[in-house]
Amino acid sequence: MPKIIVEIMPKQDLLDPQGKAVANALHRSGHNEITNVRIGKRIELHFDRAITQGDLDAAKEIASSFLSNDVIEDVVAITKED
């Protein structure tokens, strides 16, 4: 199934409480080699036909205006999977 994948991460300089909690738990279970954990979102947009350049442009617009909030998050990747 063709899909566009939008990946969103909390901004680098913002505290990511989920990531911090997971990192603490990993350290408790002995994984001290992991220095930091950050958790973001992967959003899939599904299509029942081949994805066009127009779809990708639209996805880019949707990603920045609705799927993410640029005050607190960055869109790190928009990729297509056939």
Partner 1 sequence: MKIGVITYPGTLDDRDAQRAVRLAGGTPVPLWHADDSLKGVDAVVLPGGFSYGDYLRCGAIAAKAPATQEVVRLAKQGLPVLGICNGFQVLVESHLLPGGLIRNEHQHFICRDQKLIVENNKTAWTNLFEEGQEITIPLKNGEGGYIASDETLKMLEAENRVVFRYSEVNPNGSMNDIAGLTNERGNVVGLMPHPEHAVEPGFGPDTEIAMRSGVDGLKFFQSVLKALVNA
Note the residues at the interface with partner 1 (CB under 8 A).
14-15, 17, 21, 66-67, 69, 71-72
Residue 48: Cβ within 10 Å count: 6
Count how many residues are written for the chain. Answer: 82
Task: Tell me which amino acid residue 14 is.
Answer: L
Q: Which is nearer to partner 1, 50 or 66 (CB)?
A: 66
Instruction: Say how many Å lie between the first and final Cα of the chain, rounded.
Output: 6
Instruction: Output 24 or 52, the one with its CB closest to partner 1.
Output: 24
Query: What tokens does 2 get?
Result: 């063709």
- Min CB(79)–partner 1 separation in Å: 20
Q: Which residue has the tokens 């990993």?
A: 26
Nearer to partner 1, 14 or 77 (CB): 14
Q: How far is the CB of 32 from partner 1 (least distance, A)?
A: 22
